[in-house]
Amino acid sequence: MPKNRIYLCLAHMSEAGLEQKFIQEAFDTNWVVPLGPNVNGFEADLEQFVGEDKRVVALSSGTAAVHLALIACDVQPGDEVIVQNFTFCASSHPITYLGAKPIFVDSEKDSWNIDPELMEEAIKDRIAKTGKKPKAIVPVALYGMPYDIDRIMEIANRYDIPVIEDAAEGFGSRWKGQVLGTFGQYGVLSFNGNKMITTSGGGALVCPDKEAWQKIMWLATQAREAYPYYQHEAIGYNYRMSNICAGIGRGQMTIVNDHINHHKHVFELYKELLKDVKGIEVHGNPDERYDANFWLNTITIDPEIRIKGQENAYKTVVQGAVGGAAGVVHATDSAHTDCEPNDNVEALRVYLDERGIEARPLWKPMHKQPVYQRVESSELRVESLSDGIVCQTSDMSVAYINGVSEELFKIGMCLPSGPYVSDEDVKYIVTRM
């Protein structure tokens, strides 16, 4: 990491150098392919970590894991899938890959994750309007915070809808002591470069049993049939993790608990140092059932708080790549959209950035993303339901909105949280806020 710059979240290699050992073994044995001993070993390590007699398939990304889980749940073109509204696009885009429609459900205030009561309202409304229930439910562990999986599973089981847990941000987070990703039919994990551990890029799918594991494994290796030549009777995908990446993962698994404990320690430090700062709230576990990994530490800022330079917020159009876009630039001619963080949030982000501190807004809610608001033949359709709930319908999606995620997006911010962030860094960050 370059000096004098504190990044939002970066996983790092263990000091023991085990990653290099496993990678060298891959080269020495000529296993430089998307399979091999490191892949098998990494999957075994993951199975031991998640427990609950689950099977795990190592994949090229968490997005691939979502995609395969949806296919395994028989999601077809024209089907509907309930997914958390307050999330990154990787939770919902695979639904559209399959020609299905995301049904976005807004958040409850405590955890910021999918509101189970609103989720049930959405299920009832979809059945009433379409004559069929959603094909799957995708809750998300936002910034590592567990969702109320007890209530989610109770509702899902009652309507006989499979649950795909998107625990990409929640690796190592627990609900009542049990690891996320092990409650539903499938569990999605991510090992991107900014996650709790990394394989540089990669993910995994937690499967309920050997039969499901075999199906996912088959789909992830181009759905090849058992012949001495290449026979394909179904569409498969090139989604398996490479032996090199898995070698990195094996080394990372030796320090995973250290990473999780460090993130929790950084949360406690932010909480202590910011407790007396008027207008700033650090988001923490709502009660003892929740055990977040605090992948990213998040705060909310009172709209009435004035930040130095606030009068200049949004006066400059962003130039260059942002948000980990790896140099990819898609230019815009405006600094504004119809849904954006408050001026004081943007002013604080810019103020911190000028002092070598990377901070970012929260995820923009999916129902406010233009791609999901697209309407070909008429205006975006908005229907008011009971108790302040709004149903927004476009050609691309349906959303059940209570206003929670949009309000949080306007006042929230992510602070540096990764293993590279030291106690001194946290103190520096807080003194600059």
DSSP codes, 110-139: TTSSB-HHHHHHHHHHHHHHHSS--SEEE-
Q: Predicted confidence band at 299 (pLDDT cuts at 50, 70, 90)?
A: very high
Q: Which residues contact 426 (CB under 8 A, 6 or more apart)?
A: 266, 269, 270, 273, 416
Mean pLDDT on 331-358: 92
pLDDT over 70 at 323, yes or no: no
pTM of the model: 0.94
Contact between residue 381 and residue 341 where contact means Cβ atoms under 8 Å apart? no
Q: What CATH number does the domain located at 18-255 have?
A: 3.40.640.10
Q: b vs e for 115-124, b when ≥16 Cβ sit within 10 Å of the residue's Cβ?
A: bbebbbbbbe
How are beta strands 398-401 and 101-105 bridged, if at all? parallel
- Provide the 10 A C-beta neighbour count for residue 430: 16
| pLDDT reported for residue 35 | 73
CB 132 within 8 A of CB 97: no
Q: What gap in Å lies between CA 61 and CA 220, rounded to an integer?
A: 11
Mean local confidence (pLDDT), 294-311: 95
Which pLDDT score is estimated for 2?
44
Q: What is the pLDDT, as a whole number, of residue 11?
A: 78
Question: What percent of the chain lies above the pLDDT cut of 70?
Answer: 93
Query: In this model, does residue 212 exceed pLDDT 60?
Result: yes
What pLDDT is recorded for position 321?
60
Residue 298: the pLDDT is 98
Please provide the average confidence, as pLDDT, over all residues in the chain: 93
Nearest Cα residue to 314 out of 285, 347, 282: 347
Q: In this predicted structure, what is the pLDDT of residue 333?
A: 74
Element (H, E) at 164: strand 164-166
Continuous H helices in 193-277 = 210-220, 243-253, 256-274
Is the pLDDT at 181 greater than 70, yes or no? yes
Fold match between domain 18-255 and domain 257-431: no
Q: Are 245 and 199 in contact (CB under 8 A)?
A: yes
Neighbours of 383 (CB within 10 A): 12
Q: What share of the chain is helix, strand, coil (3-state, %, to 5)?
A: 35, 20, 45
Least confidently predicted of 2-11, 317-326, 327-336: 317-326
| Helix/strand/coil (H/E/C) assignment for every residue in 1-63 | CCCCCECCCCCCCCCCCHHHHHHHHHHHCCCCECECHHHHHHHHHHHHHHCCCCEEEEECCHH
Q: For 7-52, how does the pLDDT look when each residue is reduced to its tens digit (9 = 90+)? A: 898 877 665 577 777 677 766 676 666 678 899 999 999 999 999 9
Between CA 315 and CA 320, with CA 317 as vertex, the angle to 5 degrees is: 150
What whole-number distance in Å separates Cα of residue 9 and Cα of residue 21? 25
| Nearest-angstrom CA–CA distance, 184 and 426 | 36
Q: What is the pLDDT of residues 277-292, one digit of tens each?
A: 999 999 999 999 999 9
> Both tokens of residue 432?
């600059």
Domain ranges of the chain: 18-255, 257-431
**Percent of the chain clearing pLDDT 90 (strictly above):** 82
Whether residue 1 is predicted with pLDDT greater than 60 in this model: the reply is: no
- Superfamily of segment(s) 257-431: Aspartate Aminotransferase, domain 1 (3.90.1150.10)
**Per-residue b/e over 347-363, b at no fewer than 16 CB within 10 Å?**
bbbbbbeeeebbbbbbb
- How far apart, in whole angstroms, are the C-alpha atoms of residue 361 and residue 353? 13
Q: Are 102 and 78 in contact (CB under 8 A)?
A: no
At residue 227, the 3 state secondary structure works out as coil
